[in-house]
Structures are given as C-alpha cells and as structure tokens.
Amino acid sequence: MADTGVQARKSAVYLLDQILGEEPPLMSELLASGVLDKLPPDDRARAQRLALETLRGIERADRLLQKYLKTYPPLTIRNVLRVGTIELCQGGAAHGVVNAMVNLVSGHRTLSHLKGLTNAVLRKVATDGPEAWNALRAPRLPKWLRGPLTEAWGADAMAAMEAAHFAGAPLDLTARRDPTALADIVGGVVLANGSVRIKDAGQVSTMPGFTEGDWWVQDAAAAFPVQVLAPQKGEVVLDLCAAPGGKTMQLASLGAQVTAVDASASRMARVKENLARVHLPAKTRVQDARDVTGEFDAILLDAPCSATGTIRRHPDLPYAKDGSEFGDLIELQAELIDHAWSLLKPGGRLVFCTCSLLPDEGEVQVDEALERHDDMSTDVAALNVPGVNPSWHTIEGGLRLRPDYWAEHGGMDGFYIVCLRKAG
C-alpha cells in the first residue's frame, strides 16, 4: 500500500475531515494527538504536505470540481476529490493519482459505492484541470478575516499576502552555532538575519543535525524578537509565554540567564525536550505569566494572539477559528504587558511581540500601553538589526512584518515587534 501512496493520501484525507468538520481542531493539535505516529517518516511527511497544500488551494479545487458535481458528496469524498485535484493540477501523474484515490474510496467501509464517481470526476480533472488551475485567482481568506486585514493594510497588500499564503512556506532553521556551516550541511541558504532557509525539506526529525541538536525550526520572522532584544551574556532574562521554546533557545544560545514561563504543562514539557536536544540551559516554570514575580534585566513577551500571521504555514487556522476570541486575547495582551512592566528593572527593556496581522494586537496595543505608563518609551534604534527594511518601521516605534515581505526568498510570517525601554 505504501508503494502506491494510498496510506499517505488516506491520512491526508483524515486530517482534512477533522479540520473541515464540525468543531474543527488545529492541525497541530491533531498531530500532537499522534494520529500519524504509526506511519513511516516519509508517509507522515507526505500526508501532512498533502493536507496543507489542499487547505491552501481548497478554493481553487472547489471551483474546478463544481463543474463536474451536480450535488455535493459526503465530506470525506469531497476531500478525496480535493486532494486528487490538487495533486493533478500540480503535476501529479494522472494514472497514479486517480488509481490511488479510487483505491482509497474502494476500501472505505461506508463510501465504497462512490468509487465510480471518484474515478469519473478525477479523470475529467486530469484532462481539463491543470490548464484551468493557473487561470484561477489566489485563494482568498474567509470574509471574517479578510475584511479587517484589508481595512488595515489595503487591497493590494491583502492580495500580496494571500499570494504568499497560497505559495506556502519553506522551512527555516536557527543554528546553535554557525549558520553558514549549517546551510552547507542541510542544503539551505542563509537569510539576511542569519536564519537558514530550506525550500524542499522532508521529515524534520530525519534531517542532518537534528539528533545532535545543531539547530531548531523557527520561522525567520520569529527569530527577529530576540535579535531586537539583543540579550547580553549574563543578563537575567524572562521569557514569558515561552512554548514551544524557539526564542528560549535563542536567548540561551547568546549566554543569557533565562527563565522560561508557560501556563501549559504539556507545552512546557516540549520546551524542556527542545532545550535538552540542543544542549542549552534555561530555568523553566509552568505558571500563568500574570503570576510571575521577581526582577529582570530584560523580558521577552511573545503574547498569546490570533496567530493570523502564520497562515502561510498553518492554512488550517482560518477554518479552526472565526475571530470570536480575538477580543479576549487583546485584553489578555494588555494585562501581560502591564504585569511584565512591573517585573522590569529601571533601565531595562521589554520586547513585546505577536504573530498577528491585526493592528489591535500590535500597533494599537502599544499606543495604549504608552499612554498607561509614563516611564515607558519605544527604543527605535533596537529595531536596526540585520535583515530589517526601514520601511517596516511603524509610527509608534515598532516593527511590522508581513507574509509578502521577502517574497523573492519565500516570504515570512506576519509579526509585530516592539522594544520598550523603562526609564532609569
């Protein structure tokens, strides 16, 4: 079965059934539950890739399929057809793709009677689909999210970001030591900020240097907050909302005395595993960030947010959320900023960041924090780190990153980053 690719495709369809069903989970939650653990590494990577590519292109796939479907079949069959359409329109061999999807349906306990429909529709897609595919627009975000983002950044920027989402994301690594040497080993390129980018990565755990702890996965945009904080060797640094630990490892690798805090025991367990793999020291606490006490030279607050900046890597997000929780997140961010400020030594600095494209979780949040705290100011000079374009600076003194930036290199996650300095 593995030789025909049926098992990987079957697993991809299962992931889609969950994500596009009622009360959908995030892809990360599904994977953490172990649904793909029994697959060989190659099939596991292929299943994830097929599911993610289908989510990115689902609007195009559905536009093509509606020409051949009089009525909508059950969700599982729709997902079989979507996966098959994506593969066919991206250059998959028609015979192999169609046969694999028909075999998948033939083996289904209750839907095997639809194997004829599957065969007929996918054969039509194989004939007409590839040419029609490229004529379709880049898939759009759902209206509940597209509306506020278009209002914030304009129609042209929204179209550019949607194109970046559709293109997907390469794999970025942060090297524990020398990024140039790492790039040579893994076949990547070093970006302007020192991240190592790989365009066609397979299963991460089988890559050179993983077991040895030579690197960790971290989108290039996510590496900027620590670079802006610029911790000095021996500084006492607090990393709030630290999981999964990429920034914690960055801080520790620069010689800071790091205390990493996260409210989730399971996520903090992952931070500990990551620290052990890369052989870096840090204190870890399972604790609500608002309950932390002490005094610190510098603080990194990567606050809980909508994660709307990560859609190019997590195309499941628009299906798992509807925006209803954003108000509570914005209130929580303000609470976290105020509490973190109370833990900072005079003259210290707080880097606040969110992987969000919504100004309410970035620019507006900082504008309001500056009004609440007379001893707070933005340190614009701290933003001048390698790779930052001055045009990314914002009026209130922060840094706005978007998925369409570095488009020639494959884009980056959307982020907001600011360095706040406490009066001495």
Q: What CATH number corresponds to the domain at position 274?
A: 3.40.50.150
For residue 385, what pLDDT is reported? 97
The residues pairing with 190 across neighbouring beta strands, listed in sequence order, are: 196
pLDDT band at 3 (very low <50, low <70, confident <90, very high): very low
Rg (CA), the chain: 23
pTM for the model? 0.93
Domain stops at, among 70, 105, 133: 133
Mean pLDDT across 203-211: 90
Sheet holding 171-175, edge to edge: 189-190, 196-198, 171-175, 215-217
Q: Establish if 65 belongs to a structural domain.
A: yes
Q: Establish if 24 belongs to a structural domain.
A: yes
392 and 273 assigned to the same domain: yes
Place of tokens 């620290």: 275
pLDDT band at 217 (very low <50, low <70, confident <90, very high): very high
For residue 1, what pLDDT is reported? 36
- Give the CA dihedral 27, 159, 66, 87, nearest 10 degrees: -50
Q: Establish if 418 belongs to a structural domain.
A: yes
Rounded Cα–Cα distance for residues 378 and 350 (Å): 10
Q: Catalytic positions, please?
A: 355
297 and 405 assigned to the same domain: yes
Rounded Cα–Cα distance for residues 402 and 355 (Å): 10
Q: At what angle do helices 75-89 and 41-56 cross, to 10 degrees?
A: 90
Rounded Cα–Cα distance for residues 365 and 41 (Å): 42
Question: How far is the CA of 315 from the CAs of 54, 63, 78, 406, in angstroms?
Answer: 9, 18, 18, 19
244 and 340 assigned to the same domain: yes
H or E element in which residue 297 lies: strand 296-302
264 and 377 assigned to the same domain: yes
Q: Establish if 36 belongs to a structural domain.
A: yes
Q: Establish if 229 belongs to a structural domain.
A: yes
Asked whether residue 198 carries a pLDDT value surpassing 50, the answer given is yes
Rounded Cα–Cα distance for residues 1 and 185 (Å): 33
Domain stops at, among 79, 104, 133: 133
Q: Establish if 204 belongs to a structural domain.
A: no
Q: What CATH number is given to the structural domain containing 111?
A: 1.10.940.10
Domain stops at, among 86, 102, 133: 133
Q: Establish if 173 belongs to a structural domain.
A: no
128 and 226 assigned to the same domain: no
> Which residues, other chains included, contact 112 with Cβ-Cβ below 8 Å and sequence gap of 6+?
105, 106
Predicted confidence (pLDDT) per residue in 7-37, tens digit: 999 999 999 999 999 888 899 999 989 999 9
Rounded Cα–Cα distance for residues 276 and 274 (Å): 5
Asked whether residue 222 carries a pLDDT value surpassing 90, the answer given is yes
Q: Establish if 335 belongs to a structural domain.
A: yes
265 and 378 assigned to the same domain: yes
124 and 227 assigned to the same domain: no
Which of 119, 121, 77 minimizes the C-alpha distance to 99?
A: 119
Beta strands 415-422 and 376-378 are antiparallel
Domain of residue 43 covers 2-133
Which of 256, 182, 184, 265 minimizes the C-alpha distance to 218?
A: 182
- The tally of domains found in the chain comes to 2
Predicted confidence (pLDDT) per residue in 94-133, tens digit: 999 999 999 999 999 999 999 999 999 999 999 999 999 9
Place of tokens 């192999």: 96
Predicted confidence (pLDDT) per residue in 332-355, tens digit: 999 999 999 999 999 999 999 999
**Contact between 98 and 119 (Cβ < 8 Å):** yes
103 and 233 assigned to the same domain: no
247 and 350 assigned to the same domain: yes
